[in-house]
Amino acid sequence: MAPQAQDITYYERLGVSRSADADSLRQAFRRLSKAVHPDTTRLPAQDAARQFRLLREAYEQLADPRRRRVYDAALRERDAIHQTVMPSLPVPHAIGQRRPLSGGEWLSLLLLLGSLLLCLLLGVGVAWSRGLELQVQPSWLVEEQTQLMDAQPGDSDGITSFSGHAAQPAFPAGT
């Protein structure tokens, strides 16, 4: 969506900064007026006349020092109101832009990595000093494995229940 004519400042219309001097304003006006003048452009006559009128209005406002001071004061006031009413929002096209990491960011990453390694070493060191195994099997797995090893080869295909009795089929054979 293109900005409306009211939203564009005279500086933006001429393509100069707010600190531009009179020569810069004149050069910008001459360059742009050649591009949008109704006699030299390919734009429709009405559009070209309107754009040229807006461009001339901007140049006349900024070329006169007194009118420029009044305009700059009004512009500063508008910007101050705009900043207090609407906080600046992040620019959508800025998402995904990459930049190199700063020295402080590298330092914080290294400190984070160092603290993670220190925690890992402390955990392993404390476990080793207490004589604990680093890999422990859960108790339910140990019980299941001992029950399977205790099963006799001839007992109902070697399947035992948790109670230690041979498991019975749920449906009798031949049904």
Regarding pTM above 0.95, the answer is: no
What is the distance between the alpha carbons of residues 25 and 3, in angstroms, rounded to a whole number? 22
What is the distance between the alpha carbons of residues 32 and 12, in angstroms, rounded to a whole number? 12
One-letter amino acid for residue 44 of the chain:
P
Name the class of domain 10-88: mainly alpha
What is the domain partition of the chain in residue ranges? 10-88, 136-167
Contact 73, 79 (CB under 8 A): no
Express each pLDDT in 162-172 by its tens digit.
555 555 666 66
Helix 45-63 to helix 22-36 angle (10° resolution) is 170
For the residues of the chain, what is the DSSP string, one character each? -PPPTTTS-HHHHHT--TT--HHHHHHHHHHHHHHH-TTT-SS-HHHHHHHHHHHHHHHHHHHSHHHHHHHHHHHHHHHHHHHHHSPPPPPGGGTT---PPPHHHHHHHHHHHHHHHHHHHHHHHHHHHHT--SS---HHHHHHHHHHHHS-TTSGGG-B-TTSSBP--SS-TT-
Q: Phi-psi bin for 156: left (phi > 0), alpha (psi -120 to 50), beta?
A: left
Confidence of residue 1 (pLDDT cuts 50, 70, 90): very low
What is the distance between the alpha carbons of residues 62 and 29, in angstroms, rounded to a whole number? 11
Residue 171 CB partners (closer than 8 Å, separation 6+): none
Express each pLDDT in 96-146 by its tens digit.
667 888 999 999 999 999 999 999 999 889 888 888 776 777 888 888 888
Instruction: Select the highest-mean-pLDDT range: 8-12, 36-40, 67-71, 160-164.
Output: 67-71
**Residue 157 or residue 112, greater confidence:** 112
Residue 17 CB partners (closer than 8 Å, separation 6+): 11
